[in-house]
Amino acid sequence: MPEASLDKEKRRILIQRIQELPTLPSTISKIIELVESKSSTSEDLARVISKDQSISSLIIKLVNSAFYGHMRQISSISHAIVILGYTTVRTMALGVSIFNASPGKKAAAFDRGKFWIHSIGVATITRRIATHTPARDGLDMESVFLSGLLHDIGKVIFDHYFNKEYEEIARSAAQKHEWIGDSESSFFGINHSEAGYYLAQKWQFPSTVISAIKHHHNPELCEGEAERAMACMVNLADYLCRKASIGSGGDNEQRPLDEQALSFLGISHAALLEIAQEVEGDREMIESLTLDRK
């Protein structure tokens, strides 16, 4: 088979495998159901979360982090839900369950632990950036945080379903000092943004979250105003997170600053510097939110 059609075939198989992925894990469907039901209490939500060790330990870490400024150690999930709010807990639970869907190996070229910190970092920074831009219809804080948390979800799919190949990709990106997205494209025919997009579509995420996943490396391709604003925020958050060396996105290459994204959001260079300083203040909280693997 000539090389071009071999690449096409690889791409087709890959997209098909993503489309065949299972629906949301049952713990998460239950959490979403409870949060959406008007009569559920924080006790109901706590009961479901308590059954999942990874989610409950992360929620406890989050509520006890300096970010929420509590003097007293909080150890009960229901108390944590009251402080953090339903939507924050739901978003975190969704993120943890997706990241934990497959066990990652320690000390691998693609380090899942550092990648989780990168994702939490980008989520936190995206939320920071949102507070520096005018409010737009369709951009609520929950989907802002979720977009940041899941922007690179395509990498989890690669790592899960093509583990051996992805190890090689991460190693080769490091050796060649190449952006991991380029290594993915030359290997798989698609990069993580496209892979993540197929998953986000399948799981019916909000449209702003889907387009942020698809276009966080080229926000100018988004169609709607809210979609583009979301992709621009995630793009800049990714830039700041890498610049601050918080976690790892799978490679250590600093991407250039997207000036177009900056001006679309109406953020000046001085304001960007201010946000970068706020990120330094968030660093300890972000780095403390390590994920306990199942």
Q: Is 154 in the site for Fe ion (CB under 5 A)?
A: no
Q: Does 184 bind Fe ion (CB under 5 A)?
A: no
- Other C-beta atoms closer than 10 Å to the C-beta of 253 total 16
Tokens at 222, concatenated = 């988004």
Q: How far apart are CA 130 and CA 142, in angstroms?
A: 11
Give the shortest CB-122-to-Fe ion separation in angstroms: 6
Of 45 and 149, which has the nearer Cβ to Fe ion?
149
Q: For Fe ion, which residue of 111, 152, 184, 227 counts as binding (CB under 5 A)?
A: 152
Tell me the residue nearest to Fe ion as measured from the CB.
Answer: 249
In the complex, least distance from residue 216 CB atom to Fe ion, rounded to whole angstroms: 6
249 binds Fe ion (CB under 5 A): yes
52 touches Fe ion (CB under 5 A): no
Nearest-angstrom CA–CA distance, 144 and 181: 23
35 or 261: whose CB is closer to Fe ion? 261
Exposed/middle/buried for residue 67 (C-beta within 10 Å: 0-12, 13-18, 19+): middle
Q: Which range in 18-26, 56-64, 67-75, 233-241 contacts Fe ion by CB under 5 A?
A: 233-241
Rounded to the nearest whole angstrom, what is the least distance from the CB of residue 20 to Fe ion in the complex?
23
By CB under 5 A, is residue 238 in contact with Fe ion?
yes
Report in angstroms how near the CB of residue 48 gets to Fe ion at its nearest: 30
* 215-219, long-range: CB < 8 A, 24+ apart: 216/151, 216/152, 217/181, 217/191, 217/193, 217/255, 219/258, 219/260, 219/261, 219/264
Closest approach, Cβ 120 to Fe ion, in A, equals 11
Burial 261-270, CB ≥16 within 10 A → b, else e: bbebbebeee
Number of residues that bind Fe ion (CB under 5 A): 3
Q: Which residues bind Fe ion (CB under 5 A)?
A: 152, 238, 249
